[in-house]
Amino acid sequence: MLLGVFSFFVLEGNAQSNVGETKMAKHRKSMSGCPDIFAPPQVEAAPVIETAQPQIEIKPEIKQPERKPFFLPDPVFFRINKWAIDAPEWQKIDLAVNYLRENPTSTCVVTGYADKKTGNQTINLRLSKLRSEAVAEALVNKYGIAPSRISINWKGDGLQPFQLENDKNRAVLFLINP
């Protein structure tokens, strides 16, 4: 019978060891309210936050190419000591008018010149002014271009646009600002 009691204790010890509780675990259980620092950490899943993305329609920006001022290729030429516009020169004014009508936001600088070989500085300055005014007046009164789109300038003989051909410097040039 002694053997039976002994076997009971052995079985009881084996049954407890199957549970897997060590002294340390029993001690931790007795400390109620203390976290189990040896237990694997419990990771809470982060909450999934759904955000509604605003529907933004992106329109490509259409950029106009930079347009630089330019001279029209055909200046209006004048005779010596004259500011009256000759018949063949009206076609050149028509070209400027056509461009200004097709491009309603464009402006034009009308600049008069005189040649160095005739007259003097005072006369040539006056002639270049009268020539540029005659062309500007034609643009406004004959063709109906708004005066706000036209600027008048004159250089006399101080600046010669045609260095090699003196006679061509009796002219009015159109500088277009697109």
Q: What is the CATH number of the domain that holds 108?
A: 3.30.1330.60
In-domain check, residue 144 = yes
In-domain check, residue 21 = no
Residue 83 belongs to domain spanning: 76-177
How many whole angstroms separate alpha carbon 35 and alpha carbon 57?
53
In-domain check, residue 60 = no
In-domain check, residue 136 = yes
pTM above 0.75, yes or no: no
Contact indicator for 106, 170 with CB cutoff of 8 Å? no
- Number of Cβ within a 10 Å radius of residue 160: 16
In-domain check, residue 24 = no
Nearest to 119 by CA among 151, 67, 78, 147: 78
Nearest to 82 by CA among 57, 54, 121, 118: 118
In-domain check, residue 14 = no
CA 17 to chain centre: 80
Q: Give the three-state DSSP class for 122.
A: helix
Tell me the CA end-to-end span of the chain in Å, nearest whole number: 121
How many whole angstroms separate alpha carbon 171 and alpha carbon 167?
9
In-domain check, residue 11 = no
pLDDT tens track, the chain, 178 positions: 444 444 444 444 444 444 556 666 666 556 556 565 666 666 777 777 777 666 767 777 766 667 888 888 899 999 999 999 999 999 999 999 999 999 999 999 999 999 999 889 999 999 999 999 999 999 999 999 999 999 999 999 989 999 889 989 999 999 999 8
How many structural domains are present in the chain?
A: 1
